[in-house]
Structure 1
Amino acid sequence: MMEKRLIDLLQHQDNRLRIYDMGRRISKLSNDTFARIETAEIPYPMPFLQQAWIGLLIWNPTARNQNLIWFLKLPLDEQGFLVQAARDDIVNRLLQQVIHPDTEEDALKDNPFSFTPDPEKMACFHALASRTLKTPASRYYEEVQQYLAGQYPEAHWTHLGLQGLADYVMRLDQGENTQSLCQNLAQLPDPLLMTLARMLEHCQPDYRLQRALSQLLTQRLKHPETAPELIAALLRGLSNAVDSSGRDQVIDQLLDSPLALEAEVIAALATRCHTSLEQPERLKRFLECLAAGKAGQQGFSRILSDLMFLSSMRSQILMAFRDPQRSESLSQAIGAMFGSRLNTSH
């Protein structure tokens, strides 16, 4: 057993600690799970791009002005376990800060493993943190509520603050928020719709909102001129919905559409809906779309390298690779990715 654990240093004295996975979507990691990850008892459960993307929220209930937020991107080995050298480096930096508190260096920010989430994800993390800490939403929240309740002209969407949109999404269970969004979803300007849809992956849309998203995505699929970015955003909004079978039905419709060949769409499907791809027939259709699609060979290799890092997906993908009914384009893409290292002969 190692002498000092990162989790012990982070929740010392009166601190409260909450840990989030920040890779594919923002989701809570229990402190016990993180402790087992840290001591290499278990692999990291939600790797993304072969790394562990972690958000840390640290607060003291008696000192509200001392809340801290940090983001760490930690490397994983080939089996998905935390690279101990990286963990040890951060522990040593924290210990040095304890020994030399006058230093200006912030051990969790000024290190090679820190990262900054994109603005949408950062806004959602702050919105989630404010709920956790029971602090008020941002000053932009009320204006978003009023806009989605129809109290502003449509063109006013350009004045809405990103943090207000994130606060709204993270408070869908409050007041009439879900109902207002369901009623107005199909009428929203596309840029606003895409932002809200992407943010929805960080919460769990209920049955009403899932139905509204599904109907809108199905409707937009019927129009080949629909922007791939919009389909990808709606898919991300559906990815964490409560009814997985309903989500899978929409994905099956998508895989029958020419839009499934678009790079943005196939990437959203791979990175946000991988549990849907655990069904063998759906996985085969996905692989055919990926091989024939606009992501090209580089996209094919990158997307599958990420998917195959997930323990639940690797064996299924290798099995699909060896399917004698696979297309010639899929065979060529597999060959270009693996060369002679993988036997895919019929």
Structure 2
Amino acid sequence: MAHFETLTDFIRQTEAQFRIFDMGRCISKLSPDSFHKVELGQIPYPKPFLHQAWIAILMWNPKQADENVVWFLKLPLDEQGFLVQAARDDFLNRLLQNLTNSMGKGPLDQPADASEYRDALKDNPFSFTPDQEKMAAFHATATLTTRQPASSFYDGAKQYFHGKTDLNGWDTLGYQGIADYVIRYQQGNNEDKLAGIFTQLPDVPLEAVCTSLEHIQPGETLSESIRDRLTSSVAEDRVSANQIGALLRAISQTPENDQKIAALTQVLESRYGRDPEVIAALASRCWASLQYPQLLKLFLETLAENTAGQACFNRVMADLMFIPTLRALTLQQFRSPERSEALSQAIGGMFGDGFL
């Protein structure tokens, strides 16, 4: 059996076109060089989520781009965010063994076809299946990356978001079509049309759109529409916490500016701010905004009084303090003599539960 030091080395020998994506907090490109440095232990994983590296590897032959292969992997990280080398080696050994068994020869002795590569992760403990929402967004990303057509549901979604069908006729939309439309936001006038209709969308299509928006970087017009829908929804105080959470996911990839920080501040100062669904969306998706000290201070104080108690505080902090920049900023807030009694008690409860 051939031996490879890293997964990147193995992928490169296949001679396939490939892309690596981070799949943790949102779907984003991860350069092969960066991932190779992660594998060699030269840098920590850039976007850890729940103490693991969640990645997707997309491979395809340019002459048969519709015959692509996707591997979804979750690899453990150590307390400093570096890849656990033994786990990666175990994964690679299982991968090569499966390929050898399916092909009857070593993986380099003959080229594997797509089905053999797809089956290579069978019974592999490091593989995972994304939830329906993220899978739809990834499928849309994959077809766009490999220059394949969108799904058959795309045209219906385009008609809907371009205002050519009744807004209440959303029940005919396919979830994949919505993801295709949002991921292809830079095609034609998709982004402008979505920006124009966003504040009018009924609840169900709105929340479906939001789950795809967290994977793109909207321009200013669409970003403004997302902010407007979020701030008006909080001010009206009529929608569910789930919808506020969805809108937070949508706003997460918009530019970091004063308007965005003001919108997130409004959420935290409202009754929604203490809800676990809203807290989870803020922490997992809007973590970059929490690098603003004043917003982080408000977030921690609000988190200390969340409606789910100490267990929620501990879970959120366990994830956030795994991000190097947020860990340092959070420890500063923890040491602040101005922190509230509620936050002091939550911090004491966290360390008392053996958090670190």
Shared fold (TM-score greater than 0.5)?
Answer: yes
Pair 1:48-2:49 in alignment: yes
> Sequence identity, in percent?
49
Distance 2:221 2:353 in 1: 49
- CA distances 1:2-32 after superposition (whole Å, capped 9, x unpaired): 9532111123242111000000000100000
Structure 2 match to 1:66: 67
- CA distances 1:42-74 after superposition (whole Å, capped 9, x unpaired): 111100000000011001112334310110011
Structure 1 match to 2:34: 33
Contact 1:11 1:58 in 2 (8 A): no
TM-score (norm 1): 0.94
Distance 1:77 1:243 in 2: 29
Structure 2 match to 1:337: 350
Distance 2:94 2:342 in 1: 50
Distance 2:62 2:354 in 1: 55
Structure 2 match to 1:295: 308
Pair 1:100-2:101 in alignment: yes
CA RMSD of aligned residues (A): 1.9
Pair 1:155-2:156 in alignment: no
324-333 vs 90-99, which moves further: 90-99
Pair 1:178-2:191 in alignment: yes
Distance 1:98 1:8 in 2: 16
Distance 1:69 1:269 in 2: 29
- CA distances 1:224-277 after superposition (whole Å, capped 9, x unpaired): 232111111111111111353332121122222221111111111111111211
Shift, 1:196, TM fit: 0.4
Contact 1:194 1:234 in 2 (8 A): yes
50-59 vs 144-153, which moves further: 144-153
Structure 2 match to 1:255: 268
Gaps of 5+ in 2: 105-115
Name the SS of the counterpart of 2:13 in structure 1: coil
Contact 2:4 2:10 in 1 (8 A): no
CA separation of 1:65/1:219 partners in 2, compared to 1, >3 Å: closer, same or farther? closer
TM-score (norm 2): 0.91
Contact 1:185 1:193 in 2 (8 A): yes
Structure 2 match to 1:190: 203
- The one of 299, 304, 308 equivalent to 2:321 is 308
Structure 2 match to 1:276: 289
Q: How many residues are matched?
A: 342
- CA distances 1:54-98 after superposition (whole Å, capped 9, x unpaired): 011001112334310110011111111111111111211232244
Contact 2:18 2:59 in 1 (8 A): yes
- The one of 299, 316, 319 equivalent to 1:286 is 299
Gaps of 5+ in 1: none
Distance 2:255 2:194 in 1: 17
- The one of 154, 167, 175 equivalent to 1:141 is 154
Name the SS of the counterpart of 1:179 in structure 2: helix
Shift, 1:340, TM fit: 8.9
Distance 2:245 2:50 in 1: 19
Contact 1:199 1:237 in 2 (8 A): yes
Q: Which amino acid aligns with 1:160?
A: L
Name the SS of the counterpart of 2:139 in structure 1: helix
Structure 2 match to 1:215: 228
CA separation of 1:340/1:184 partners in 2, compared to 1, >3 Å: closer, same or farther? closer
122-131 vs 236-245, which moves further: 236-245
Distance 1:98 1:170 in 2: 33
